[in-house]
Amino acid sequence: MDSAEILARRGNWAVVQIPSRAFAALAAQGDTFFNLADGIRRGIAACTDGTPKEELIYALAEMESSLAWYADVLQVRGSDLPWYPQDG
């Protein structure tokens, strides 16, 4: 089994490179990922008037922050992002 290289850590998140993969992975602790999914789930359930609820706003902010950090880590290493800048 290949060993993943930990490129960076921040709180419950890590950027890891698996040797057989072209792009690094963004890894989250299971409870952190669960809480994000739960926040989205609860936010969707609360959207009766089409207005984003606090849980959705928080979950999106956490995901965007983690993606920005991931992009920074890859940029420092000179690695490409697995998406085009206009995609995200």
The domain limits of the chain are: 5-80
3-class DSSP state of 62? helix
pTM above 0.85, yes or no: no
Q: pLDDT by residue (tens digit) across 49-85? A: 877 788 888 888 888 899 899 999 999 999 888 887 6
Phi, psi of 15 (to 5 degrees): -105, 125
CA distances from 32 to 2, 11, 25, 36, 82 (A): 25, 10, 16, 6, 22
| Rounded Cα gap, residues 36 and 28, in angstroms | 10
**Residue pointed to by tokens 């960076």:** 8
Q: pLDDT by residue (tens digit) across 13-45? A: 999 999 999 999 999 998 888 888 888 888 888
Amino acid 88 reads G
